[in-house]
Copies of this chain bind each other. A is one copy, B any other.
Amino acid sequence: MENDLILLGHGSGGKLSHQLLDSLIIPALSSTLPAGQNDAALLEVSGARLAFTTDSYVVDPIFFPGGNIGDLAVNGTVNDLAMMGARPLFLSVGLILEEGFSQADLSRILASMRSAADAAGIAIVTGDTKVVPKGKADRIFINTSGIGVLEHGLRIDGAAGRVGDKVIVNGSIGDHGIAVLSAREGLEIDSGIKSDSAALNGLVGELLALGTGLHALRDPTRGGVATTLKEIALQSGVTIMLHEESLPVNAGVRGVCAILGLDPLYVANEGKLLALVAPERAEEALEIMRRHPLGAGAAVIGELVENSAGRVMMETSVGGVRGVEMLAGEQLPRIC
């Protein structure tokens, strides 16, 4: 039966991913999995409060405008720690290489990892390298796992959203997905769009000044802004109302999306965060973001309007209101 096999959509970050997680992976692995729907697990060891997270990267192509699989793997894991309000400290690197992979490409990728780690202030402390025969993997896959430390008592959690909260994004959406897609063999569209891949821990460090006014942080990667907001809506038990007109989308992203029939709301980002902020602190949050190099394009894109079982709605540019669901299927395999 087809539903007994793993489908590409199970890696989408969207609806099928959630089904696989909820029906198979989480029940099998653990009664706990404290990471739950958040980006990292919060742990306590000998009085130290830690965040711990892991991600594997299988992006195709491995080099794309604005980055490569190496800096992506560092930034992605740094961001998962940052979204918990943790200060990233230590990173592990697990390489799976295909026999015949170019050592020059490997060097270039590792150099990018080092630069990205230095820029984020995280130390690469341990690693592992496996090689599989030609044809048994696609060039290079990278796992990064990260440890961060929580140095504050705030509860920053996808379940901590409250009615009234503003939803703020730190800039334009969809850039990473479109940059990778544009570089893909056979497509090679010259969109002029670069991946937004960047470490967000510096920006998050500034946002912590909001104190208890900062309720949730999440980076909208696989599945895009739509899927991430749907997750938050479910976790917090609220309805989120988006305003289509306020979504920051670059013209190049809009163009490619129009040609390929994609919706920027579902396209992956790698240097963006969604912040849920108490309404009275929203203006301050915007100011903090706009002062930061990674937040110049910050915008309020919606708000939490009512307690519910977890809906996302959008006021469209043409004046209607429509429901926003998680990504169904897989529109862009191997985007990260």
Residues of A that sit less than 8 Å from B by CB: 3-12, 17, 20-21, 24-25, 28-30, 32-35, 40-41, 43, 45-50, 52-58, 60, 89-90, 92-104, 106-107, 110-111, 113-114, 117, 123-133, 135-138, 141, 143, 145, 147, 149, 330, 333-334
Residue A97 contacts which of B10, B54, B95, B97 (CB distance < 8 angstroms)? B10
Q: Given that A6-B97, A7-B99, A143-B94 are known contacts, is A33 also in contact with B132, CB under 8 Å in the complex? A: no
| Chain B CB within 10 Å, residue with most, of A3, A33, A60, A94 | A94
Residue A90 contacts which of B43, B113, B137 (CB distance < 8 angstroms)? B43
Are A125 and B41 interface neighbours, CB within 8 A? yes
Measured CB to CB, the nearest residue on chain B to A7 is: B99
Are A123 and B10 interface neighbours, CB within 8 A? no
Are A6 and B100 interface neighbours, CB within 8 A? yes
| Chain B CB within 10 Å, residue with most, of A52, A100, A143 | A143
Chain B residues, CB < 8 A from A57: 130
A-B contact pairs, 30 of them (CB 8 A): A5-B102, A11-B131, A12-B131, A24-B103, A25-B129, A29-B110, A29-B117, A30-B117, A33-B124, A34-B125, A35-B127, A40-B126, A41-B90, A43-B90, A45-B48, A45-B89, A45-B147, A48-B48, A52-B125, A54-B94, A54-B128, A56-B128, A56-B130, A58-B96, A60-B136, A94-B94, A96-B96, A132-B138, A133-B334, A136-B334
